[in-house]
Chains A and B, each alone.
Chain A
């Protein structure tokens, strides 16, 4: 069974601060997705990384896939209140399925 450990579980910061969310596993994934979910809504795809060592940037968000494709990180620069939400990493494996991390609940205070 593939498991993804996501940390921290909860993060409360002030607007303007930087933060990093981590997603770790002992398993290798063919791809790694990051989603953001707001209360009462479904997850929205932010990015997909597929190559070991890959780095993708989406405005103030930087995503990195580990060289061995077992871990990933999401770094947010100068967080804004609109970044508040639940961030989920998900690893793609066999059978078209995704393995989800436990989620990181981010609250950015003004």
Chain B
């Protein structure tokens, strides 16, 4: 079945360490997104990519980095510069406008990062 796979599901990080969250999709979608969710808050956009080898900052990009070397993969690195990284991270991809279900976002199951 097509979908989005995020790993790991749970991740613990010591202060000062960089960590990378994986996001893989087999939906053949061009656009992919990373969101951050904090308790009692809505999702906030970190980075997005419309196409391979291109990505743009979202509303809260500071302390994060991404790459998009393959269509299927959009990994997110949480760097030591991110002051409050403990959160639930969600990856999504978007159905193209020409397809059925156009512009619907499909989400992965999320990765929960805790800084010790």
Q: Do A and B bind each other?
A: no
Interface residues in chain B, defined as those with a beta carbon under 8 Å from any beta carbon in chain A: none
